[in-house]
A = this chain, B = another copy of it.
Amino acid sequence: MKTTIADIAKIAEVAKSTVSRYLNGGSVSNATRKKLDQVIQETGYSPNTFAQSLKAKKTNMIGAIVPRLDSFSASQSVTSLDEELRAHGYQLLIVNTSQDLSREIEAIYDLARQKISGIILFATQITEAHMTAFEQIKIPVILLGQQHKEVHSMIYDDYSAGYEIGKYVLQQGHREIAYLGVTEQDIAVGVKRKQGFQEAVRQKQDVHVDFYESGFKMSDAVVSASSILDKDKPSIIVCATDNIALGVMKAAYMRGIHIPEQLSVTGFGGYDITEVIHPSLTTVKYGYSTAGKLAAKNIMRLVSDKEVEPLTVMGCDLLIRESVDKI
């Protein structure tokens, strides 16, 4: 039998409103406080969150909409987001959309219906439907990983990351380059990284770059890399993500090509695994944990009606390791 505020009011011989006040830190006389302390102790009372939310018309919940959980970047960011939020009394509700854009839209409305206080969207593409949803729900939203001028956004400095990788690769003497990117639908990963890379190339003479496109999965990359290696002889394959780089390395091994002696490889991301493999992967480290934590701080500010910069740009660090040869 669940005890309610009415039960404990009766036992303690006070009014329900007094109990409520006590519970919410309002002023109560010492005598009643004592009594209430005890009664609540004994009954093991705990408030019904629905009734609370129904009245208060809000919750302490923050929603995170994530395209997938089983990726290094997502799990890192979500974990730190969750920890930071919980440390401040918020609860994180994670919605996995399995990379289905329409589910993303559904999730936005769904979360709003559940009176979530704020939303963090791990964004890949921002469509019209997204914007419509944001306008309708009137709940603070933060975009993580992509930017849009009308929404609070947190992005990595993908352009610089691409530029840094490009500069380093050229410095190491590479002139025959294959760039294995992803769809341009993804502005951050597909466009910005490539643009930064291209800028580095532009500043150098006699460089030849072929651009290719792959899916995000390792297995996609294995296929793409194989077809590149079939017809081309680049000294390096610059990959738009660590996952793709891993796939390329696999493809190389499968044909007996040694890395980095016969083929150099780079990635973007800085996944843990890239340090452990052999040779370790030269890549750009993205601060996924830091981003999650910062996203938490920002959404909490927005929820409390405090100011937040419309755009936060997070830096990245070039990680020079073993997968690139000097030629």
Query: Which residues of A are at the interface with B, using a C-beta cutoff of 8 A?
Result: 44, 46-51, 53-54, 68-72, 75-76, 78-79, 82-83, 92-94, 96, 98, 109, 113-115, 136, 218, 246-247, 249-250, 253, 272-273, 276-278
Once the chains bind, are B278 and A249 in contact (CB under 8 Å)?
A: yes
Once the chains bind, are B68 and A79 in contact (CB under 8 Å)?
A: yes
Once the chains bind, are B48 and A246 in contact (CB under 8 Å)?
A: no
Chain B residues contacting A98 (CB-CB under 8 Å) are 79, 83
Once the chains bind, are B82 and A76 in contact (CB under 8 Å)?
A: no
Chain B residues contacting A250 (CB-CB under 8 Å) are 276, 278
Chain B residues contacting A54 (CB-CB under 8 Å) are 48, 50-51, 54
Once the chains bind, are B253 and A218 in contact (CB under 8 Å)?
A: no
Chain B residues contacting A79 (CB-CB under 8 Å) are 68-70, 96, 98
What are 10 A-B contacts defined by CB distance under 8 Å?
A49-B113, A69-B78, A82-B96, A83-B96, A83-B98, A92-B94, A246-B273, A250-B276, A253-B278, A277-B277
Chain B residues contacting A113 (CB-CB under 8 Å) are 46-49
Q: In chain B, what residue has the closest Cβ to A252?
A: B278
Chain B residues contacting A82 (CB-CB under 8 Å) are 69, 96
Q: How far is the CA of A76 from the CA of B96 in the complex (A)?
A: 12
Given contacts A69-B79, A78-B69, contact A46 B109 (CB under 8 A): yes
Q: How far is the CA of A9 from the CA of B49 in the complex (A)?
A: 27
Q: How far is the CA of A96 from the CA of B75 in the complex (A)?
A: 11
Chain B residues contacting A69 (CB-CB under 8 Å) are 69, 75, 78-79, 82
Most buried by B among A71, A72, A278: A278
Q: Given known contacts A75-B75, A92-B94, A94-B94, what 5 new A-B pairs fall within 8 Å (CB)?
A: A47-B113, A50-B50, A50-B115, A69-B78, A70-B79
Once the chains bind, are A246 and B276 in contact (CB under 8 Å)?
A: yes
Q: How far is the CA of A79 from the CA of B218 in the complex (A)?
A: 18
Chain B residues contacting A253 (CB-CB under 8 Å) are 278
Once the chains bind, are A114 and B276 in contact (CB under 8 Å)?
A: no
Q: How far is the CA of A278 from the CA of B248 in the complex (A)?
A: 12
Once the chains bind, are B218 and A272 in contact (CB under 8 Å)?
A: yes
Once the chains bind, are B70 and A76 in contact (CB under 8 Å)?
A: yes
Min CB distance, A107 to chain B, in Å?
10
Most buried by B among A92, A94, A272: A94
Chain B residues contacting A115 (CB-CB under 8 Å) are 48-50
Q: How far is the CA of A113 from the CA of B45 in the complex (A)?
A: 10
Min CB distance, A63 to chain B, in Å?
11
Min CB distance, A172 to chain B, in Å?
22
Chain B residues contacting A78 (CB-CB under 8 Å) are 69, 96
Min CB distance, A215 to chain B, in Å?
15
Q: How far is the CA of A51 from the CA of B75 in the complex (A)?
A: 33
